[in-house]
Amino acid sequence: MNFIVLTIFPKMFNPFWEHGIIRKAIEQEKISVSAIDIRDFATGKHRSTDDRPYGGGCGMVMKPEPLAAAIRAATQEAPFAKRILLTPQGRRFDQRVANELAALNGLILICGRYEGVDERICQDFIDDEMSIGDYILTGGELAAMIMMDALTRLIPGVLGDKDSAEKETFSDSILKHGQYTRPSSFEGHDVPEVLLSGNHKDIDQWRLETSLIRTFLKRPDLLENRALSQEEIKILKKWCIDIEKIIHNQSILGPGALPGGQ
Chain residues binding ligand 4FV by CB under 6 A are 86-88, 112-114, 116, 131-133, 135-137, 139-140, 143
Strand, coil or helix: 213: helix
Tell me how far, at minimum, the Cβ of 28 lies from ligand 4FV, in Å. Answer: 28
Tell me how far, at minimum, the Cβ of 74 lies from ligand 4FV, in Å. Answer: 18
Cα–Cα dist 62/67, whole Å: 8
Tell me how far, at minimum, the Cβ of 86 lies from ligand 4FV, in Å. Answer: 4
Torsion of CA 128, 131, 136, 137, to 10 degrees: -80
Tell me how far, at minimum, the Cβ of 234 lies from ligand 4FV, in Å. Answer: 40
Question: What length does the chain have?
Answer: 262
Cα–Cα dist 45/238, whole Å: 72
Burial of residue 256, with CB atoms counted within 10 A of its CB: 0-12 exposed, 13-18 middle, 19 or more buried: exposed
CB of 10 or CB of 140, closer to ligand 4FV: 140
HSE at residue 35, side-chain half, CA atoms within 13 A, is 18
If we measure between CA atoms, which residue out of 104, 107, 105 comes closest to residue 82? 107
CB of 114 or CB of 180, closer to ligand 4FV: 114
117 close to 8: Cβ distance less than 8 angstroms: no
> Which is it for strands 106-111 and 2-7: parallel, antiparallel or unpaired?
parallel
CB of 59 or CB of 178, closer to ligand 4FV: 59
CB of 106 or CB of 140, closer to ligand 4FV: 140
What residues are paired with 3 via a beta bridge? 33, 107
Tell me how far, at minimum, the Cβ of 97 lies from ligand 4FV, in Å. Answer: 12
Torsion of CA 26, 28, 32, 34, to 10 degrees: 30
CB of 143 or CB of 212, closer to ligand 4FV: 143
CB of 74 or CB of 132, closer to ligand 4FV: 132
Tell me how far, at minimum, the Cβ of 9 lies from ligand 4FV, in Å. Answer: 12
CB of 87 or CB of 152, closer to ligand 4FV: 87
Tell me how far, at minimum, the Cβ of 55 lies from ligand 4FV, in Å. Answer: 18
Residue nearest to ligand 4FV (CB): 112
